[in-house]
Structure 1
Amino acid sequence: MSAAGPLVLFAGGGTGGHLYPGLAIARALVREAPGVRPFFIGAQRGIERDVLPTTEFPHQLLPLHPLYRKQPWNNWRTVLGGVQAWRALTQLTRNDRPAAVVGTGGYAAGVALAWARARGIPTFLHEPDSHPGLTTRVFARGAQGVFLGFPEASAQLTAAAPGAVYPLGCPIDEPPANHEARALARAAARAEWGLPDEAFVVLVMGGSQGARAINEVVDQWIARGLPRGVALIWSTGRAQAAAYLHRESEAVKVRPYLAPIAQAYAAADVALGRAGAMSIAELCAWGLPMLLVPLPTAAQDHQTFNARATAAAGAGVMLRQSDLSVDALSAQIALWQQDTTLLARMRESAQARARPTAARDIARTLRRLLQLAG
């Protein structure tokens, strides 16, 4: 690496929930401190393998592996990959000492954070979930800054210095800032989707892979007959789309994936989906009440914690996958349709949780703590 402005390493990935916040923070940091040079460290086997080559940032993919909790005999891969990654980081920065390492979670972050600690390099963490992951819990002590997507996570980070915890939210694309702009966006989005303005629009989303359990119930719901006035924008996931494309109609818009997703958020009244941190952050920013069905197999059951926190704040309703049915779904949508006061209150609660400027706020905090020139 050639020496220029300060180098900041971003380490994280494995899933989009750990990679995309890092990208958003890095872009905001470049806007705040144009001389800074973000560099991404990721795993060869994570989502970053496909995403990072499409970005503007230099990067290096390393032979990192997660902890194999259910197959401990495979942890030799984790150890060997960690040693190789440590050596690669040392070689990468031999003549270019980083100003900081920002870990955004997942197994791709742990080695880089440990490597930085061993060299006295400042470390920062971003934790998107309400239940902090292993990497965050291990490295919170001694971090110069721990940025939280859910304020509830701070109760589980007692090792972190109180002044180093910043509940600034999850970095997302900002929606329109005021009611008038949102009303215009809503009308334009519904026109683009071909949906009537008076429809009660439910956005169904299960992430890039979709959510089979949710898709099956929604399919049964459509087969039974949607309630009068209800319309769907249904993101099935690419792998499952073929099974549901025949459900497309004037009231049902079926898409394998929504990218960009802003037009769907703008058109919707409520949402049904999993309880990933980034999705919840975006739904709160758009003021959409949500019916959250946590993924039962999520690591450390973090989606259940996310859903509970969101429900406790009055912004959503949690429904376990084992309780998800056409009757349960119909009952919740009917309640929202009929009780406009409840719906308005939940919208306000969602917006109260929103942190639409999270990327900018985190970047400004990083700039201040690292004393980076603007």
Structure 2
Amino acid sequence: MKIVVSGGGTGGHIYPALALIRMIKMKHPDTSFLYIGTEKGLESKLVVREDIPFKSIDITGFRRSVSFENVKTIMRFLKGVNECKKMLKEFQPDVVIGTGGYVCGPVVYAAAKMNIPTIVHEQNSVPGLTNKFLSKYVNKVAICFEEAKAYFPEQKTVLTGNPRASEVIEASGVGVLEKYGFRTGRKTVLIFGGSRGARPINDAVTGALKDLASRQYQVLYVTGEVHYEQVSNMLNTIEKPENVAVEPFIHNMPDVLAACDLVVARAGATTLAELTALGIPSILIPSPYVTNNHQEKNARSLTDREAAVLLLEKDLTSGLLMKELDAILMNDLRLSKMKEESARLGIRDAADRLYAVMAELTKKGGHSS
């Protein structure tokens, strides 16, 4: 099978695409891929690093306010469609999948107009503008949250989950905690605010360090590289608790997750896919700075099923964070119940599900809408 993949802008769109490619390559090594993105986006670095054939187009997203820039965006879109048609004609894909971000617009639209089977993959519970637009033209819309069904044509929508989940289930937490000076057999919580960190989460954690020192559980606290120096300087003025390890960034995140009993994090779609795939309970602090407040809606899909606890950033304090940590980690029955509910929500075979959708479309051949 020959597959064109497109996704860009943020890691939330790119990492699921890369996970899908890796999983398909592992199980179907004769598959060929072409990734279409933008040179300015993060995908140009991440995709090339994976040794995946990469081509780029020049495209920007629509501004939500009235702006002359939107006229330029329309012109770039039309030009991008023409460029994509040439790329698709040359590569001759069996199927095209977009994983989100404005770069998918011209790529998937061009494929649909050429009667090439098409899929969009929506990671969040509330879809972005591009995927809502493309849903009118594609054969299938793959979703990760049941709540997303309401935004798409029912007959096209299929629940597949996030391919990132298919990768993390291979992770092993054996021997990971010892690298941070921790003891095995002791409950462990991981706290992080994304790759860049989050100041409100950092403030809550640093304010709670004295209380954490008296707890039986241990804390792996990831500041984000931007905030690490500031936090380190603060730690130099106090006695850092022996049960707390502080890191700027975690490179082997799946293995670390697999070793933890509880996670405190934002509510990005990829993070939630990883947590539920591994059956890990969480305290979720959604970023309030995202489109359509989708992180809070993502989080509620877990909290409504008691797999997680929701803390809004505006309410976050050191005291409230400690209260919730204690309420979960010092109550074995509740911790066990949350683990069960988290695992119940996990879709561990997401990559296989997506590949099955692709295979079915290629059997039918051509565009159906």
2:209 corresponding residue in structure 1? 222
TM-score (norm 2): 0.90
Find the residue that maps to 1:188 and give its secondary structure: coil
Could you tell me which residue of structure 1 aligns to residue 19 of structure 2? Answer: 24
Cα shift at 1:122: 1.3
- Residue 266 of structure 1 deviates from its aligned partner by 2.4
CA deviations over 1:87-109 (Å, ceiling 9, x no partner): 32133234343222101011111
Secondary structure of 2:97's aligned partner? strand
The residue aligned with 1:98 is 93
Equivalent in the alignment of 2:326: 334
Task: Tell me the secondary structure at the aligned position of residue 90 of structure 1.
Answer: helix
Separation in 2, partners of 1:61, 1:95: 14
Using the TM superposition, give the Cα deviation of residue 234 of structure 1 relative to its aligned residue in structure 2, in angstroms. 1.5
Distance 1:176 1:136, change over 3 A: closer
Amino acid at match of 1:56: D
Which residue does 1:36 correspond to in 2?
31
Structure 1 residue 274: Cα displacement: 0.4
Looking at structure 1, the residues matched to 77 and 107 of structure 2 have their Cα atoms a distance apart, in angstroms, of: 9
**Partner Cα distance (2:151, 2:82) in 1:** 32
Cα RMSD (Å) of the superposition? 2.2
Q: Deviations over 1:289-335 (max 9, x none)?
A: 11111110111111011011110121101111001111110110111
Partners of 2:13 and 2:100 within 8 A in 1: yes
Unaligned runs of 5+ in 1: 1-5
Letter in 1 for 2:157: V
Matches within 5 A, 1:93-132: 93-132=88-127
| Residue correspondence of structure 1 range 1-374 to structure 2 within 5 A | 6-70=1-65, 72-157=67-152, 159-161=153-155, 164-172=156-164, 173-175=166-168, 185-186=172-173, 188-223=175-210, 225-246=212-233, 247=235, 250-371=242-363
Q: CA–CA distance in 2 between the matches of 1:74 and 1:220?
A: 44
- Superposed CA deviations along residues 117-137 of structure 1, whole A, max 9, x for unmatched, are 222221101111111222222
Q: Distance in 2 between matches of 1:90 and 1:168?
A: 28
Deviates more, 1:66-75 or 1:101-110: 66-75
TM-superposed deviation, 1:369: 2.8
In structure 2, distance between residues paired with 1:93 and 1:142: 17
Q: 1:14 & 1:176 partners in 2: Cα distance?
A: 26
Q: Does the CA contact (< 8 Å) of 2:109 and 2:137 recur in 1?
A: no
Q: For 2:61 and 2:130, how far apart are their aligned partners in 1?
A: 11
The letter of the residue matching 1:237 is G
TM-superposed deviation, 1:254: 1.7
Aligned counterparts of 2:338 and 2:211: Cα–Cα separation in 1: 28
Tell me how far 1:41 sits from its aligned partner. Answer: 0.9
For residue 263 of structure 1, report the CA deviation from its aligned partner: 2.8
Moved over 6 A (4+): none
Structure 1 residues 153 and 256: alpha-carbon distance in aligned structure 2, compared to 1, 3 A threshold: same
- 8 Å contact 2:169–2:277 — kept in the other structure? no
Q: For the Cα contact (< 8 Å) 1:174–1:285, is it kept in 2? A: no
In the alignment, which residue of structure 2 is the partner of 1:3? none
| Percent identity over paired residues | 28
Q: 1:133 to 1:46 in 2, by over 3 A?
A: same
Query: Kindly tell me: are residues 132 and 188 of structure 1, through their superposed partners in 2, closer, same or farther at Cα, counting changes over 3 Å?
Result: same
- Whichever residue aligns with residue 162 of structure 2, its letter is C
Residues 1:83 and 1:73: Cα distance change in structure 2 (over 3 Å): same
Are the counterparts in 1 of residues 94 and 116 from structure 2 also a CA contact under 8 Å?
yes
**Structure 2 unmatched ranges of 5 or more:** 365-369
Compute the TM-score of the two structures, normalised by the length of structure 1: 0.89
CA contact (8 A) 2:281 2:308 kept: yes
Q: CA deviation at 1:286?
A: 1.8
User: 2 CA distance for matches of 1:48 and 1:71?
Assistant: 28
CA distance in 2, matches of 1:371, 1:175: 30
Q: Which moved more, 1:244-253 or 1:290-299?
A: 244-253
C-alpha contact 2:169 2:348 (8 A) present in aligned 1:
no
Q: Residues 94, 168 of structure 1: CA spacing in aligned structure 2 closer, same or farther, 3 A cutoff?
A: closer
The CA deviation at 1:236 is: 1.5
